[in-house]
Structures are given as structure tokens and as C-alpha cells.
Amino acid sequence: MGLVFGDIGTSPIYTLTVIIALTQPTRENVFGILSLIVWTLMILVNIEYALLAMSLSRKGEGGTIVLREILVRMIKPGRQMVFVTFLSYLGVALLLGDGVITPAISILSAVEGTLLIPALSGLSQGTIILCAAVIALLLFIFQFKGTDKVAKAFGPIMLVWFASLTLSGMISLASFPGIIAAISPHYAIEFLAKNGLAGFFVLSEVILCATGGEALYADMGHLGRKPVKRAWHYVFAALVINYLGQGAFVLQHPHTKNTLFGMVQSQAPMLYIPFLILTIMATVIASQALISGVFSIVYQGITTRILPLLKVDYTSHHLKSQIYIGAVNWLLLALVIMIMLIFRKSDNLAAAYGLAVTGTMTITGIMMVMIFSRTKKKWKVPVALFVVLIDAAFLLSNLHKLPAGGYWSLVLASIPLAAILIWTKGQRALYRALKPLDLETYLMSYEQIYRKGHIAGTGLFFVKEYITIPPYLVHCTIRSNIIYERNVLISIIRTDEPYGLESTLTAGLGTGLDAFEVIAGYMEMFDIEQLLKEKGIQEKVIFYGIEDIATANPVWKIFSAIKKLTPNFVQFNKLPAAKLQGVITRVEM
């Protein structure tokens, strides 16, 4: 409940407040809005993620990258492959952009609840932003310790949070039981029909109730399909009861400024401050869950080679998913505080929120339609198509937010998207520019030099794959005559599976030339020195290649800068520095 439903579980803090600020709280409008909220949760979370997406996985893993891995095996190279690849990159970028807005809106909206405490009602917006920024700073500072340290507190706190939502909703429902009729979809249809274009634009605020729904699928690999689905049933019931209760409260108190906080304060004034503290804790947990999710997405991107290598720290001996990426952490913090300062209020932030979420949901829907149409589960195609149409309607309604700050969703998503596109295209162009040798051609020169003499001991040379010899190795061994008594070409190959580790030693490629291959799952962590010792390899020195890129092309200049700023292959795999020798190759791109 803490790790998966933190985001969607804290949406009742601001969803109805934002919608009611835009529409008159008449009986017809409130019933229509509540009906829209209930059916948005039903279609976009229950059907799209819990029913359809969670039936698609690779070894229990979920997410946009996993959908791409499933689809790539079903389609032939060509335009479709390019389309699928770009869709998955866009989906990843939108999710990463969402990782900035969610902590900002969640923490700000919780801190704004202090204004309902009489003694603090005069707090300036600047003070509220400062408090929210301090909470965000503390949250990001403690990331390096790993979420497993605080995970034990997540469950119980969120259990109390959902119980509070249910209880406050039920008390409010008791005062006006007739509001339960709002569950009927005909109120939603009536609302959209009567209000026309204005009603359609209200959808862009209704989507706030479903933000965080994608976490069901993304976190499936860490926790398993069954626990996530079971927990969702309780969360869904708590959310619906609370939204209905808020609706009943709005009808009786149409001038309230903050619906959830106003409702709790009117029910139990003595418990308001404890509830406010609980709200802040819940929003911190929601932000924490999203930050952990961003780390996981970036890590999947690194290991599937769509993102550059970044320094990764593993914070748990038990959970492989518990990682910390310092560069991502501090960049996220800077962007979260920047967004708080730009938008100042959670109501304003809601204007920027929704584009990234609906974009991600639409991409997931399109990819699911493509997968189901190529499997035996063809009956799911019409259901998935219906979901895509609903997703598209929400996405279109969010487009009017672009001038009001919605463009920030695209600005934030464009940073990782540009990085992915430049990195993937740059890697391919660099590989072509390096002009590697094939093993047979290399062996002809190698054998001649080996016979002339060699250095005592074992030398390791990192290569992408041992059948392809990189230019730095030719420079080292052929031009500079650095040949050891035993030379081992070492390559690390990441598979599309999350886990699995095997290492093979291929001896006798040439005289004194062996190959050592490590095949590991994209989420697998291993000690390379330990693997070498197990195969009886005691290295004297380790060589690796560094490319010095010379280019006049501005895009490749950015690629070169990214390469210089991020750790190279050797630093990423934490190899012993004392034995390392970097060999520079100048490349024209």
C-alpha cells in the first residue's frame, strides 16, 4: 500500500478541490463530477492496469520498457519497429517528467492544509513554499540510505491513511446517503452532454484522481501481481467512499475552499492537526514511491542501453530493486523546488498536471492493442481499444492546459527524451565511426607479434563482444606490442530478462588468447572480480577503451559531452582502480 498506492492514495487531497474551483457546486454538477471520478478509476486503473496491463509481463516485470521487449519479438524490423521504439522512449520520458510534478503537487497541497489551523491561517504563500521545499529537501537527502530502511513504516502509515479516508468519507455519507447514486455512469454522461466543451475540459482535472495508477504495473516486478491486485481492491473502495463523502460535504458547504481538510475539520476539530501530520507523511511516502520508481526506470534504461551509464549504488542486501542514483536524485530535487517556485500553489500546479499521465496511459493502451492483436487473447483487443479511446479523450482535454503551464510537462519530459534519442543514435554512429576489426583479421597480426615475445602475467581487455575487436585493442596489442603471456577478452552482455547470471571461459581463441563472457539479466548485480577468480583468472592489469570524439556536428557535441560527464563502462561496474589502464582512441564523427 505504501510503495504502490502512495500517489493515487493522496489524490483526494486536491482532486475535488481543484474541480469545484472550476465548476459551480450544484447538485447536478457534483453528481456528474463524482460519477466521472468513479468511472475514471474504474476504466483507467481497474480495467487498463489491473485487468489488461498486469496480464502482460516478462518474468513478472512490468512497465513501458517491458511492453517494448514483448512487442519487439512480435514484429519485424522496419517502420513498425521504429514506431514502437519511439513510443516506448516517449512513455519513459513522460513518466520521468511526471516524477518532478508529483512530489511538488503532493507536498505543496498537504502543507497548504496548515492554513485551516486558526493560529496559522495568516501564513504567507512564501512561507508555505519554504516549508514544502524543506520537506522535499529532507526527503531527497535521505534517499542514499535506501527505501528499505523506511519501508517498514510505509505500510502501517498508509493503512492508517486509507482507514482515515474511509472513515471520514463514511461519516460524511451518513449525513447525505443519497450521494451514493452518483456511482451510476448516467450522471457522468449527462454532465458531459449538458456542459459540452466546458464539461469536456473538466476531464483534464478529473484525471487527477487516477494519477499514480500506472504504478500498479510499474511496481508489479518488485511485489508480485497478486498482492498488488488484492491491495488495489481495498484502496479502490477507500477512494470511492472518500470521494462520495467529499461530494456530500460540498453540497452542504458549497463555499469551502479545501474540501478534504474542511470535511475532516468539521467532523473532528480535535483530530485535525494529527490528520494534517498524517497527510504530510502520506504525501512524503507518495513522493518517495515515485522517486524510487524514477530510479528503477533510469536503471532499466541504463541496462537496456537507452540511457548513458550513471553511478548506481545498491542500498539493500535483500532487495535488488533498492537502488540510489545520486545524479538523478539531486537533479530531481532541483527541478521539484524549481517547479514549486514557478507555480507557487497546488491549484496552479494542477494546471500543469495530467498531460504526462494521460500521455503515458495512451501509450500503454496503444502498445497493449498491438500486443493483444498478435496473441491468442484477441478478445481483449476491443476492451483495450475502448480504453485507448478513453485515454485519448483525457489526453485531448488536457491539451488546453498547455498555455496555462501544461507545457512544463512537455519541457520536463523533453529532457530525458532528448537524452535517450541522442544517446541511442550517438552510440550507433560511434560504433560505425570506430570501424572495429573481425577476430580472424586480428588474429593474423596477433600471432606474429605474440611469437616475437610477450609480458609475464595476465592482461584483461574489455570488449563489447569477443568476435569484434575494438580499435583501442588493435592500438594496444598490434601497434604498441602490449601482449601478455595470457590475454583475456572480457565482455559483459546484458539480457532482456531481469535476472539470471552465467559466465563462460572460451580458451584458445589464439595462442595465449582467451575470452571471458558474463551474461547477466538487466537487473542483476554481480562482483566481476569474484567471477574472474572462480575461473582461475588472476589479472595483472585491465585495459579499456576511451573515445575522444572530434566533431563539428552540434548533436554529436552534446553526445560527446554526455559521454564525458557520465561514468564509463569500467567505473559503472566498479572495477579495481589500481589495475586499470585507459587507452584513448580519437574518433571523427
Q: How far apart are CA 20 and CA 206, in angstroms?
A: 11
Q: How many residues does the chain have?
A: 589
Q: What is the pLDDT along the chain (589 residues), one digit of tens a residue?
A: 777 888 888 899 889 988 988 888 889 999 999 999 999 999 999 999 988 888 887 766 777 888 888 888 888 888 888 888 899 899 889 888 878 888 888 888 888 888 878 787 788 888 999 999 999 898 888 777 765 665 667 788 889 999 999 999 999 999 999 999 999 999 999 999 998 888 898 998 899 898 888 877 877 766 778 888 888 999 999 999 999 999 999 999 888 888 899 999 998 889 989 999 999 888 888 887 778 778 878 887 887 788 888 887 766 655 555 677 888 889 999 999 999 998 888 777 777 778 888 998 999 999 999 999 988 888 889 999 999 999 999 999 998 888 878 888 888 899 899 999 999 999 888 888 887 888 888 899 899 999 888 889 898 998 888 888 888 888 888 888 889 999 999 988 877 666 788 889 998 888 999 999 999 876 677 777 788 888 888 888 888 888 888 889 999 999 999 888 887 777 776 666 777 888 888 888 8
DSSP symbol at 211: T
Contact predicate 2/10, CB 8 Å: no
Cβ neighbours of residue 218 closer than 8 Å, sequence gap 6 or more: 62, 63, 95, 293, 296, 297
Contact predicate 567/310, CB 8 Å: yes
Contact predicate 356/95, CB 8 Å: yes
Give bridge partners of residue 254 from the DSSP assignment.
none
Q: How distant, in Å, are the alpha carbons of 8, 201, 349, 405 from that of 213?
A: 6, 21, 19, 23
Which residue type is seen at 315? T
DSSP 319-355: -TT-EE-HHHHHHHHHHHHHHHHHH-SHHHHHHHSSH
348 grid coordinates: 496552479
436-444 long-range Cβ contacts below 8 angstroms, 24+ apart: 436/468, 436/469, 436/470, 436/471, 437/468, 437/469, 437/471, 437/474, 438/467, 438/468, 438/469, 439/466, 439/467, 439/468, 439/469, 439/509, 442/469, 442/473, 442/474, 442/478, 443/509, 443/510, 443/513
DSSP 305-318: TSS-----EE--SS
DSSP 237-297: HHHHHHHHHHHHHHHH-TT-SSHHHHHHHHH-GGGHHHHHHHHHHHHHHHHHHHHHHHHHH
Contact predicate 274/161, CB 8 Å: no
Q: How far apart are CA 315 and CA 319, in angstroms?
A: 8
Q: What is the pTM of this model?
A: 0.82
Can you give the pLDDT at residue 495? 75
3-state DSSP call for residue 499? coil
Using CB atoms within 10 A of its CB, is residue 12 exposed (0-12), middle (13-18) or buried (19+)? buried
Crossing angle between the packed helical segments 407-434 and 326-343, to the nearest 10 degrees: 150
Q: How far apart are CA 103 and CA 101, in angstroms?
A: 6
